[in-house]
A = this chain, B = another copy of it.
Amino acid sequence: MPGLSTSPPLPAPRACAAPLRSWVQSANRDDADFPLAHLPLCVFRPAGTDAIARIGVGIGQEVFDLRRAWRLGLLDTLAPELRRACAAPSLNALFAAGRAASRALRAALTTLLQEGTPDQERSASCLLPQSQAAFDLPAQVGDYTDFLASYNHAHNVGSLYRPDNPVLPNFSSLPVAYHGRASSLVVTDEPVCRPQGQFRAAPQDTATVFGPSRKLDFEMELGVFVGPGNARGHAIAVDEADAHIAGFCVLNDWSARDLQEWESQPLGPFLGKNFATTLSPWVVSPEALEPYRVEIARPASPLLKDYLRHAPSSRRASFEIVTEVRLCTQRMRAQGQAAQLIATALFSRDIVWSFAQMIAHHTVNGCTLRPGDLLGSGTVSGPTPGSEGCLLELTRGGRAPLTLANGETRTYLQDGDEIVLTAFCARPGLPRIGFGECRGRIVPALARD
């Protein structure tokens, strides 16, 4: 079994205390995913209510209600239009306001949530345990684009379908991408209905069958939400693209491989992807990730076109983010077992195009990005067994089933299987930055009406 538990490709990260302490005690634990240095944003409502959605900020085990904070006057130091954006039911207006506005909000929240703040009592009334929050999508996504930016993923998948020519020549020339479907986006914990469609039951078949997908897969990706957009016709330069990144999330680009195999030529994936794409609810800010900024993995090729070329001073355009995939089967749940780690990878090692390069490429033809648009990195797959970000790779196209700790085996996902994706940054001396969970359970295909 190419399981990560036996061959971790990375040294075990060590979590550290955040330098600033919060009066929210759960934020000060060494293993806290959401320390005071983090402050990820989300959109939520108190679970079980039909209260309107509001923006929240993760702190320890709590979510801090920005709408309530606005009502209580706790955000009065902010500019009026920024205050209004904080009271909105989605993050689009905040994203549109840009990085300076986000940093102003971040500074205000840091003040409110740190030990010794004079506003602790009123601020405490804005907290809700995360376990009592129901999350919405963080933003209304106008368009969702998915890239193919892991060389390992391109190679592993290409080897299955085109053994003689696994990685196509354009891969090294531009960040390959396709348009996903915005309506497919759901937030963590939304059940994923097994898609039905046409496929060939065996690769050599000429006839197709119709039915529930037999090759249902996940894809571990990171996502970026677009901040301020661009005007039609105006490209965003690669070294200015950071100003257009509002934040990061974890993304599961569920894939029905059998549907995808049959439909994808000549126009790319369609029904094999657009039945569901699950997002984690938290938007991780570039500021929180800043200590983990590292050089992009790709060497600066002289063949690279200028519009994709980072200036030497901006080559630190990637982030040392560990990704993790866990699987929990129905039987594991029934027996009270925790989800099992089946893959882990390292974003900065395994994704060879920076999000800045993706943005520069996406807009070089004049295409408009709008605030709240979503970019997926493509599957994050590493070079070693157990670092592959999907079952298609982990099981070599189904030929090498995974054997789980309880003896169950998997090629593709079965009904009842739950996939839990997460990501984190951790390094000695730095605050741990967790991305939260992107979780989805497969439910059987619906009978056709």
Contacts and interface: CB of A to CB of B under 8 A. Distances in A.
A272 B266 CA distance: 14
Contacts of A82: none
A32 interface: no
Nearest to A195: B365
A173 interface: yes
Nearest to A361: B271
A184 interface: yes
A117 interface: no
Given A143-B183, A170-B265, A449-B235, A270 B210 contact: no
Interface string A163-204: 000001110011011111111101000000101111000000
A148 B268 CA distance: 12
A284 interface: no
Contacts of A208: 173, 305
Contact of A198 (B174, B180, B272, B368): B174
A169 B208 CA distance: 11
Interface string A359-375: 00110111111100100
Interface string A237-275: 100000000000000000010010011111111111011
Of A264, A366, A446, most buried by chain B (CB within 10 Å of CB) is: A366
B174 A365 contact: no
Contacts of A366: 193, 195-196, 275-276, 445-446
Of A142, A179, A269, most buried by chain B (CB within 10 Å of CB) is: A179
Of A145, A186, A368, most buried by chain B (CB within 10 Å of CB) is: A368
B448 A373 contact: no
Contacts of A158: 266
Contacts of A131: none
Contacts of A445: 233, 366
A331 interface: no
Interface of A: 142-143, 145, 148, 158, 168-170, 173-174, 176-184, 186, 193, 195-198, 206-208, 210, 213, 232-235, 237, 256, 259, 262-272, 274-276, 303, 305-307, 361-362, 364-370, 373, 445-446, 448-449
5 contacts: A148-B267, A168-B265, A193-B366, A210-B307, A271-B362
